[in-house]
Amino acid sequence: MQSEPTIPAANNGGLVLHPVANRRCGSCERWHGERRAGADGHSIELDSEMRMGVCRGGPWDNSERRARSACGRWTVWTALPQR
């Protein structure tokens, strides 16, 4: 599998934006942390870089993962606009 380019997260008035293209836990369907779909349709919004959420159904099943963590079982959060 070809790796995705790493795009730095941007700060947006106190919110942390994470690009979906980075394929991190925060934009994964299996991650259950507090987040919001970004208005640009290509990012997620978090209130903190340290935000944690439980992975359900992935290799870290039932364990807390940081939004910026990653693994090979990432699958896009279905709440995000389809691209």
Q: Which two tokens stand for residue 9?
A: 């997260």
60 closest CA partner among 27, 18, 31: 31
Q: Which of 37, 42, 60, 80 binds ligand SF4 (CB under 6 A)?
A: 60
Q: Which of 45, 71, 77, 80 binds ligand SF4 (CB under 6 A)?
A: 71
Q: Which stretch binds ligand SF4 (CB under 6 A): 4-12, 13-21, 42-50, 62-70?
A: 62-70
Beta bridge partners of 43: 19
DSSP-derived pairing of the beta strands 43-46 and 36-37: antiparallel
Binding site for ligand SF4 (CB under 6 A): 25, 28, 30-31, 55, 58-60, 65, 69-71, 73-74
